Structure 1
Amino acid sequence: MLDTETMRTFIKVVESNSFSKAAKLLYKTPAAISYRIKSLEADLNTQLFERTTRTVTLTLAGQHLYEQCSQWLLWLSTMPEELQQIRDGVERKINITINNLLYDVEAVTDLLTFLTEKFPFTTFNINRQVYMGVWDSLLHGECHLAIGATGTESLDTMINILPLGEVSWVFVAAKHHPITQIDGALSNDILRKYPAINVEDTSVHMNKRVAWLLPSQSEIIVPNINTKLACHLKGLGIGFLPKSICQSYLESGELIACKVVNERKPSPLSLAWKKSHMGKVMNEIVNLFKFHHPIANNFLKNIDKRR
């Protein structure tokens, strides 16, 4: 009913809006084209075209068949190469999680451009997570590789780890914020008077971590690190920011670094990936980071102390 010749004939009629034009393009007679389409409609018991004396247009059923046939023919044309890649150990799908602290639009775009050119038949899915949400996606989700898993030790024997370095933190407030006028290290009693600005941990199955929040202190929760920075600049609250992100604002005076009683220690981050899904694509990504390729380094802009 739907052999490749019939599908190609059907598509050519759709794209030329004419039986006669399709016949010329396929080196067939108009009668042969018309007969094949009528036979297809009879087999399907469905009208595919609205016919006039000059043109033909698709019915809703015809439009649906056209979309499906186009996909089928495309798949048939690429299927031999897809099978060869699978045979050669190239994964069909790779899910990548990126820590919110390392997420960079240009870095993601460059990575996808590199990977899709080298592995055109692999599907890539990238998402962003916060804190333990990165590990959660690896251990309980469908993530195959994570850029920026917290810590330098694996939480599971089936996960490999490659340390990337550390993110350093600075306690900041907007230049016009009241605490910038106080000399010396700021006590917790002073700090808890003002809201803490935090990005919420996205973990679902594991215990969430809170970046910095004192008992009885109010909190403003935002979706990502860029929004957190913007809130600090507006003076909406206080808290820690990665040194690399706020450095230019500290130099311009828009943000002021404050001394606090309990400083935040640097956060070590790692590349982490599942051993069970290690194919050519995963190996390529790991090597980008292992051998400090510029594409990998683009993700490490917020890491001050690299491995």
Structure 2
Amino acid sequence: MLSDEELELLEAIKESGSLSRAAARLGKAPSTVSHAARQLETRFDALLFDRRRYRLQLTPAGQLLAHEAARLSQDVARLTQRVKQVASGWEDRLWIVTDELLEFETLLPVIRDFDALRSGVSLRITHEVLGGTWEALLDGRADIVIGATNEPPAIPKLGWHELGVMEWVFAVSARHPLVGAQEPLEREVIAEHRAVVVSDSSRRSQGRAYGVLGGQAALAVPTMRAKILAQRDGLGVGWLPARRVKSLLDRGELVSKRTADPREPNMLYLAWRGDQEGRAMTWWLDRLRSGRLAQRLVHGIDAFVLAR
């Protein structure tokens, strides 16, 4: 590891190209700079400075030393800052997992407000689907999960909060054969047509699939947006978040149909590991539990208002 003075020496020689100009830049006598350069070479038992040319240059070994020493110095500075950060109650990193039901756009204002705190906490935001959301918390792949469905599982020291209820609509494309079918749609009639489902991201089990009837063909897609687009294009049928597809329904690109077996609304949960509450987690939980933001998360954004 080089001292700050030694790093400054290497940088000064590299930039100026001569001992005299480096000395002037450092505010030292040329003899002092020359002696320090030779001491550095003796210390590493390597030729660090090419003195054969008119312009003094770093040798490949000198360039490597300058580059790696600067990188290590930055790493030490970052580590020092992170140690102070954790000692003051902030986490080193906060991992947030959202269920795919939620749109990432709803979190953008929260992220901006958190950045304004200049806490130094590194945020990681990923998403899971259905059982994979709870599983992420259970397996330690999340500190906070947002929008998880079904009842909270048995997880030691689990904290949870009800965000609100998501309403569903059974929708088909305006070009789909079920548009003209008699309502309410019976299970047998629906089962004759392919369902579109978002793939459960659970790693521990086969996962769940809402809205697929026994013997019904299914098209599995990676996201809720993909499911909406597939159904809009007549590639299948299924249940969709009512608020999220309102504009498509209003424009007639999707048509809602009553079914003999309506889908119950889903409670969406905010959950966290109660044994790891630092300042960042506390801040996020306070914001996410606020009524206005919780409502926005549950109701979502109609991303198809301008879509054509």
Q: Report TM bin, short chain.
A: 0.7 to 0.9
Q: Residue 73 of structure 1 corresponds to which residue in structure 2? A: 73
1:95 is aligned to 95
* Matched pairs, number: 300
What pairs with 1:191-270 in structure 2 (closer than 5 Å)? 191-206=190-205, 208-270=207-269
Q: Distance in 2 between matches of 1:85 and 1:293?
A: 30
Closer, same or farther in 2 for the Cα pair 1:297/1:169, shift >3 Å?
A: closer
List aligned pairs for 1:43-58, cutoff 5 A.
43-45=43-45, 52-54=53-55, 56=57
How far off is 1:144 after superposition?
A: 0.8
Change (3 A) 1:48 1:234: farther
- 1:282 and 2:281 are equivalent in the alignment: yes
Q: How many angstroms does 1:218 deviate by?
A: 1.7
Does the 8 A contact of 2:166 with 2:298 survive in 1? no
**Which segment is superposed worse, 169-178 or 73-82?**
73-82
In the alignment, which residue of structure 2 is the partner of 1:143?
142
2:306 aligns to what?
Answer: none
TM-score by length of structure 1 reads 0.84
> How far 1:90 sits from its partner (Å)?
1.3
Preserved contact between residue 169 and residue 256 of structure 2 (Cα < 8 Å)? yes
- Following superposition, the deviation at residue 71 of structure 1 comes to 3.7
Cα RMSD of the aligned pairs, angstroms, is 2.9
Name the TM-score, length of structure 2 as normaliser. 0.84
Q: Which residue of 2 aligns with 1:299?
A: 297
Q: Which runs of 5+ in 2 are unaligned?
A: 302-308
Change (3 A) 1:48 1:268: farther
Cα distance, 1:207 vs. partner? 5.1
Q: Provide the rounded CA distance (Å) in 2 between the counterparts of 1:8 and 1:111.
A: 41
- Provide the C-alpha distance between the structure 1 equivalents of 2:204 and 2:235, rounded to a whole number of angstroms: 31
Max radius of gyration: which structure? Answer: 2
The equivalent of 2:25 in structure 1 is 25
Distance change in 2, residues 1:186/1:286 (3 Å):
same
Letter in 1 for 2:91: E
- Once the two structures are TM-superposed, the CA of residue 216 in structure 1 deviates from its matched residue by 2.1
Is residue 98–residue 128 contact of structure 1 (8 Å, CA) maintained in 2? yes
**Partner secondary structure for residue 118 of structure 1:** coil
Deviations 1:25-45 (A, max 9, x none): 322355654554554455445
The whole-number CA distance in structure 2 between the counterparts of 1:63 and 1:230 is 54
Q: Any conservation in 1 of the 2:163–2:295 contact (CA below 8 Å)?
A: no
Seen in structure 2, the aligned counterparts of structure 1 residues 8 and 117 have a Cα distance that, compared at 3 Å, is farther
Q: Does 1:127 align with 2:129?
A: no
Question: Once structures 1 and 2 are overlaid, which stretch shifts more, 66-75 or 268-277?
Answer: 66-75
Whether contact under 8 Å (1:172, 1:238) holds in the other structure is: yes
Q: Percent identity?
A: 25
Change (3 A) 1:256 1:275: same
Alignment gaps of 5+ in structure 1:
none
Q: Equivalents in 2 of 1:168, 1:220: separation in Å?
A: 22
The 3-state SS of whatever aligns with 1:276 is coil
Render the CA deviation track for 1:68-118: whole Å, top value 9, x for unaligned. 4334333444555543332221111111111111132x3343333322332
* Amino acid aligned to 1:146: V
